[in-house]
């Protein structure tokens, strides 16, 4: 690039902006080109704002395993996304125009406008993003955002982690799992991380996991039995399915099972549960699901703690950033279920010349 001056693209000079809507409910996995459709919308501007509203340009879109569940027309913790409706999603954005005293153009923010390049938001639904020392903008959707908070509350409040516990974490090299492993280490536990590639296993050892295993290894079952010979006190489960079944078979009496997610089942037309669920009775296991949103009032204190650990070098994080704008989001979401990511998966919706650093 040399000294060449890059001209910043200004979305407000466009006549339309892009969003992504649900076109068809998938029966199992998302079908590229069928499940979602790109939509061009009439441009919006400062003139469309009412008092108390802001105009937000999306910079990064968070891709979350839960998104697959939001496409099913079933009862859950949020209503399903409707056909023809904007796909739901959390973003990091930049204020383009403001009719709220709380925000000025140029502020970085987080909000939930969905898969869209531009949106009008009530200022109350937008949070100012302040980058702490040693942090970066994209942490707001990762280690200092929803996934970091999920790991924090799951491990501390549901898992009630104690020094000396033996903890196993599935989906350990993902956004939530990698933070969960490190919190368990900070709290004095011995940690076994489970992930889907040798590279991820190597990273988990760099993070301080005492042991890490690739669950795709043909000898995984035997290696898992050996690694858990002292049995499991706390199992932090992101995956469900066969790995949950394996963990149940190795649970200590009165073990705590933190039911965070079940990604192995999200794309199954007929999800299956563990065959040995009766181990919950035999071992008097406390198995508890939770949603991070239940802890909203405690977010500020938890963020403060996570920020401090980050500054002290006790927490490390990775992120996988897919470039290509919103049109790359559908494939990237499919790739999330295939384990493309180490750490947090984001789509770069708008490349900025300066201010936001991104890395693959």
Decide whether 146 or 274 has the Cβ nearer to ligand NAP: 146
CB of 266 to ligand NAP, least distance (A): 7
25-31 CB contacts, 8 Å cutoff, 24+ apart: 25/71, 25/72, 25/73, 25/83, 26/68, 26/71, 26/267, 27/269, 28/267, 28/268, 28/269, 29/267, 29/334, 29/337, 30/68, 30/71, 30/267, 30/330, 30/333, 30/334
Cα 42 to Cα 63: distance, rounded to the nearest angstrom: 25
Residue from the set 135, 159, 261, 274 that interacts with ligand NAP by CB under 6 A: 261
Residue from the set 22, 30, 35, 65 that interacts with ligand NAP by CB under 6 A: 65
Decide whether 234 or 262 has the Cβ nearer to ligand NAP: 262
Residue from the set 119, 176, 228, 249 that interacts with ligand NAP by CB under 6 A: 176
CB of 238 to ligand NAP, least distance (A): 4
Residue 302 as a binder of ligand NAP (CB under 6 A): the answer is no
Decide whether 113 or 343 has the Cβ nearer to ligand NAP: 343
Residue 121 as a binder of ligand NAP (CB under 6 A): the answer is no
Q: How big is the site for ligand NAP, counted in residues (CB under 6 A)?
A: 31
Residue 114 as a binder of ligand NAP (CB under 6 A): the answer is no
CB of 164 to ligand NAP, least distance (A): 26
Q: Decide if 199 contacts 171 (C-beta within 8 A).
A: no
Cα 111 to Cα 119: distance, rounded to the nearest angstrom: 10
Question: H or E segment at 93?
Answer: strand 91-98
Residue 94 as a binder of ligand NAP (CB under 6 A): the answer is no
Indicate the DSSP class of residue 123. Answer: G
- The closest alpha carbon to 145, from 163, 127, 133, 168, belongs to 127
- The site for ligand NAP (CB under 6 A) is made up of 64-66, 146-147, 150, 171, 173-177, 195-197, 200, 238-239, 260-264, 290-292, 336-337, 339, 341, 345
């Amino acid at each position: 690039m040399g000294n060449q001056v890059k001209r910043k693209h200004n979305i407000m000079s466009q006549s339309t902006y892009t969003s992504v809507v649900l076109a068809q409910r998938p029966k199992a996995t998302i079908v590229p080109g069928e499940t979602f459709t790109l939509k061009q919308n009439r441009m919006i501007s400062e003139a469309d704002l009412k008092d108390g509203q802001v105009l937000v340009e999306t910079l990064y879109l968070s891709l979350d395993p839960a998104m697959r569940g939001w496409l099913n027309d079933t009862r859950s913790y949020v209503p399903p996304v409707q056909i023809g409706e904007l796909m739901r999603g959390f973003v990091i954005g930049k204020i383009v125009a403001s009719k709220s005293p709380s925000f000025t153009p140029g502020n970085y923010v987080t909000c939930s406008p969905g898969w869209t390049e531009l949106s009008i938001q009530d200022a109350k639904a937008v949070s100012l993003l302040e980058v702490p020392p040693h942090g970066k903008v994209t942490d707001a959707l990762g280690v200092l955002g929803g996934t970091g908070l999920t790991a924090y509350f799951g491990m501390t409040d549901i898992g009630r982690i104690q020094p000396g516990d033996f903890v196993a974490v599935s989906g350990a090299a993902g956004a939530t799992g990698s933070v969960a492993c490190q919190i368990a280490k900070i709290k004095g536990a011995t940690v076994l991380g489970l992930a889907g590639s040798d590279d991820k296993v190597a990273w988990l050892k760099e993070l301080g996991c005492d042991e890490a295993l690739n669950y795709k290894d043909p000898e995984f079952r035997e290696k898992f039995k050996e690694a858990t010979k002292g049995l499991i006190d706390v199992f932090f489960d992101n995956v469900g399915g066969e790995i949950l079944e394996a963990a149940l078979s190795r649970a200590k009496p009165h073990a705590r099972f933190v039911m965070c997610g079940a990604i192995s089942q999200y794309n199954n037309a007929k999800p299956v549960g563990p065959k040995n669920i009766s181990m919950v009775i035999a071992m008097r296991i406390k198995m508890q699901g939770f949603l991070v949103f239940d802890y909203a009032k405690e977010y500020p204190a938890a963020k403060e703690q996570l920020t401090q650990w980050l500054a002290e070098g006790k927490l490390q994080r990775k992120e996988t950033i897919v470039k290509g704008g919103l049109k790359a989001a559908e494939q990237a979401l499919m790739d999330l279920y295939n384990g493309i990511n180490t750490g947090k998966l984001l789509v770069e919706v708008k490349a900025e010349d300066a201010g936001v650093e991104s890395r693959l």
